[in-house]
A and B are shown apart, each in its own frame.
Chain A
């Protein structure tokens, strides 16, 4: 690869000869024709050149481990000195995961359910905040900085300590304490206040679930807000102008101008949110996978991870085309 790169590098200079002199030089070009690599192919070679580092690295650090883990998932594994012993077992690991392991399906359903109700909430919340942060007011820079702060912190171990997950023995810090402010009682009291008494328990439960999770919700929308903000700033002035001349209210403006313009970013955010929620190291399935791996059941753990991963892909494949249908692309 390197040799061809050098060779082509020299040759690139040759055709750069001034175009005006083309007629003169025509005979010369004919001579060299046999040696020359066509422009398209030369560019392709450069493409491979630019990607060569990535190709090497991806094969060794990504594809190989990926395939090896797929292989493990089809085997019974045992760690010995200096190597991993495998014994082919077909899809037994997968069958075990779904049919014998009570924790796995439960965790899987929990994660799916969690993602299902949290994703739309996150998207709506992010749009709402982005629209607010896009308005002009004093302290906007500060507000933006604060809303983005979780992205800086939330990926680290700090958040697990903050969340009080680190120890189950009544840690009174962070989210736990905070969410008690929004507990069931409050939702109930609010409903009573509004004159709603005999609402079904399930609805109350959902509401309290949402309100008690407001902390996590706010803490996981940083990136989404930024993406929406950028999209909002991309709305052309002419559209705003037209809307305001036609006398659109803020409400109409949001539905007829804002939403269509940011709809492509809704897809981006949707995919991002789903992936983020599935891949989060603190979700139930991921913890389970890790737990099995640290118990030296590498084959079984790999099977769990792969089954989970395939479900994630499937979910994306279902969601993406459906949402894409409602997107407005400016032509």
Chain B
């Protein structure tokens, strides 16, 4: 085994070593399997030969052994078929809505009521997509969402890592209590805190700063008009301002931040302590150690958390629908799509969902398309990243 001294210069390469070990492990397994198969073959041949010669003794396999081997062989033949059926069925269940979505999004609305059309439409059209694109104002909405998403996710990942490291490697008074609060952040649904938060944002006085500015004669605060409440206090309304998403993200309280802190803490706890000790001995302070030694080692964790953060921010409509009224994100636009379709396509008449399916499904398709594309290319980081990033174990 490498000593602490040897490990120090290799520090950033640690995960790769782990990977190699895994590969070699599966290789060993394969070799073991081969060896065993060869051995069994020889044994079986010996049994046959012995039976022919009539010299069965203790060295040969018993009939019990043979029965076991036969049963195993049958199982190994039948099981893959069952496995295929099970997986095929369940994959179908999962992909069903997606297939349905694609199938409906590109067919003319008339064909929804045509009983002869189930999966394959008689003709394809792009008009649904175009209509929905215009209704959702998709171009600007998409840009707005991407900007919001990237900024929040980047901030969130950075600060969550810092916090996670603090929890993983330092001992101080009240740590248990604070970690309890992190667990609380995971468990407490946003529904509980969202109303006080709404009030904090809607009547934001920036810890009294707005009052001071207002009494000094200012009419705007950060470009937002200062308002006065019933009891004479001054405030600004930050509703619809992207700050309501950025500020919690930078202070480790963005969407699912509790979970991310937890993941990082688990990951950093799993890294060998020698890494840091080596860095300390070489004269790094804790901050430098964190940046130069721990962060490069945690790159897979960073990527995973970043991807999940993007997905969750993308999908979030609960928090953003509370704070945003006219500031559209893709998820919000989709949420309101049914109502806006009534306005744009049906002249304000209330139309049943049945008539709007094609547009709704194209809306869904547009909404998940960016995430889906990302998922297709980075699939491995999603599925294996979560497992490796230390959430487990």
Q: Write out the residue numbers on chain A whose beta carbons fall within 8 Å of the beta carbon of B250.
A: 53, 57
Say if the beta carbon of A120 comes within 8 Å of chain B.
no
- The answer to whether A16 and B280 have CB atoms under 8 Å apart is yes
Say if the beta carbon of B346 comes within 8 Å of chain A.
no
Q: Write out the residue numbers on chain A whose beta carbons fall within 8 Å of the beta carbon of B231.
A: 82-83
Q: Write out the residue numbers on chain A whose beta carbons fall within 8 Å of the beta carbon of B387.
A: 226-227, 229-230, 233
Contact of A167 among B86, B191, B352 (CB under 8 A): B352
- In chain B, what residue has the closest Cβ to A305? B192
Q: Write out the residue numbers on chain A whose beta carbons fall within 8 Å of the beta carbon of B199.
A: 68, 83-84
Say if the beta carbon of B2 comes within 8 Å of chain A.
no
Q: Write out the residue numbers on chain B whose beta carbons fall within 8 Å of the beta carbon of A166.
A: 338, 353, 360
Q: Write out the residue numbers on chain B whose beta carbons fall within 8 Å of the beta carbon of A132.
A: 83, 86-87
Question: When each residue 229-249 of chain A gets 1 if its CB lies under 8 Å from chain B and 0 otherwise, what string results?
Answer: 111011001001100100101
- The answer to whether A53 and B188 have CB atoms under 8 Å apart is no
- The answer to whether A57 and B315 have CB atoms under 8 Å apart is no
Evaluate whether A227 and B367 lie within 8 angstroms (CB atoms) in the complex, with A51-B178, A72-B196 already known: no
Nearest-Cβ distance from residue B91 to partner chain A, whole angstroms: 5
Say if the beta carbon of A12 comes within 8 Å of chain B.
yes
- The answer to whether A170 and B193 have CB atoms under 8 Å apart is no
Q: CA separation between A46 and B80, bound complex, in Å?
A: 55
Contact of B229 among A82, A173, A249 (CB under 8 A): A82
- In chain A, what residue has the closest Cβ to B162? A50
Q: Write out the residue numbers on chain A whose beta carbons fall within 8 Å of the beta carbon of B233.
A: 82-83
Nearest-Cβ distance from residue A233 to partner chain B, whole angstroms: 7
Q: CA separation between A249 and B86, bound complex, in Å?
A: 21
- The answer to whether B251 and A54 have CB atoms under 8 Å apart is yes
Interface centre among A47, A218, A290 (most CB of B within 10 A): A47
- In chain A, what residue has the closest Cβ to B388? A230
Q: Write out the residue numbers on chain A whose beta carbons fall within 8 Å of the beta carbon of B287.
A: 9, 46
Q: CA separation between A170 and B113, bound complex, in Å?
A: 13
Say if the beta carbon of B187 comes within 8 Å of chain A.
yes
Contact of B285 among A9, A175, A227, A309 (CB under 8 A): A9
Q: Write out the residue numbers on chain B whose beta carbons fall within 8 Å of the beta carbon of A226.
A: 383, 386-387
Q: Give the number of chain A interface residues (Cβ < 8 Å).
A: 108
Evaluate whether A237 and B25 lie within 8 angstroms (CB atoms) in the complex, with A171-B354, A275-B186 already known: yes
Which of A30-38, A88-96, A150-158, A187-195 is the contact stretch? Answer: A150-158
Say if the beta carbon of B379 comes within 8 Å of chain A.
yes
Say if the beta carbon of A214 comes within 8 Å of chain B.
yes
- In chain B, what residue has the closest Cβ to A43? B170
Say if the beta carbon of A62 comes within 8 Å of chain B.
yes
Say if the beta carbon of B53 comes within 8 Å of chain A.
no
Contact of B187 among A69, A237, A275 (CB under 8 A): A275
Which of B9-17, B96-104, B125-133, B217-225 is the contact stretch? Answer: B96-104
Q: Give the number of chain B interface residues (Cβ < 8 Å).
A: 112
Nearest-Cβ distance from residue B255 to partner chain A, whole angstroms: 10
- The answer to whether B383 and A157 have CB atoms under 8 Å apart is no
Nearest-Cβ distance from residue A152 to partner chain B, whole angstroms: 5
Contact of B97 among A60, A155, A174, A241 (CB under 8 A): A174
Say if the beta carbon of B189 comes within 8 Å of chain A.
yes
Say if the beta carbon of A279 comes within 8 Å of chain B.
yes
- The answer to whether B315 and A157 have CB atoms under 8 Å apart is yes
Say if the beta carbon of B197 comes within 8 Å of chain A.
yes
Say if the beta carbon of B121 comes within 8 Å of chain A.
no
Nearest-Cβ distance from residue A254 to partner chain B, whole angstroms: 13
Question: When each residue 55-88 of chain A gets 1 if its CB lies under 8 Å from chain B and 0 otherwise, what string results?
Answer: 1111011111110110010000000111110000
Q: CA separation between A186 and B233, bound complex, in Å?
A: 66
Nearest-Cβ distance from residue B167 to partner chain A, whole angstroms: 7
Say if the beta carbon of B368 comes within 8 Å of chain A.
yes
- The answer to whether B283 and A68 have CB atoms under 8 Å apart is no
- In chain A, what residue has the closest Cβ to B33? A244
Q: CA separation between A296 and B167, bound complex, in Å?
A: 39
- The answer to whether A293 and B368 have CB atoms under 8 Å apart is no
Q: Write out the residue numbers on chain B whose beta carbons fall within 8 Å of the beta carbon of A82.
A: 203, 227-231, 233, 235
- The answer to whether A289 and B165 have CB atoms under 8 Å apart is no
Evaluate whether A158 and B364 lie within 8 angstroms (CB atoms) in the complex, with A69-B196, A149-B375, A152-B382 already known: yes
Interface centre among A48, A230, A241, A281 (most CB of B within 10 A): A230
- The answer to whether B372 and A152 have CB atoms under 8 Å apart is yes
Nearest-Cβ distance from residue B166 to partner chain A, whole angstroms: 3
Evaluate whether A61 and B93 lie within 8 angstroms (CB atoms) in the complex, with A148-B382, A158-B334, A229-B387 already known: no
- The answer to whether B93 and A214 have CB atoms under 8 Å apart is yes
Evaluate whether A62 and B193 lie within 8 angstroms (CB atoms) in the complex, with A13-B283, A54-B251, A157-B331 already known: yes
11 A-B pairs within 8 Å (CB atoms) are namely A44-B173, A54-B159, A83-B233, A149-B94, A158-B367, A158-B368, A166-B338, A167-B352, A170-B354, A178-B96, A223-B386
Residue numbers of A with Cβ under 8 A of B are 8-9, 12-13, 16, 40, 43-51, 53-58, 60-66, 68-69, 72, 80-84, 129, 132, 135, 137, 141, 143-153, 155-158, 161-162, 166-167, 169-175, 177-178, 214-215, 218-219, 223, 226-227, 229-231, 233-234, 237, 240-241, 244, 247, 249-250, 264-265, 268, 275, 278-279, 281, 286, 289-290, 293, 298, 301-302, 305-306, 309, 312-313, 316
Q: A69-B196, A158-B364 are in contact. List 20 more A-B contacts (CB 8 A).
A: A9-B287, A51-B178, A61-B248, A65-B195, A69-B195, A82-B233, A83-B230, A147-B90, A156-B314, A158-B367, A158-B368, A161-B364, A171-B357, A173-B104, A173-B361, A174-B100, A223-B386, A249-B71, A293-B191, A293-B194
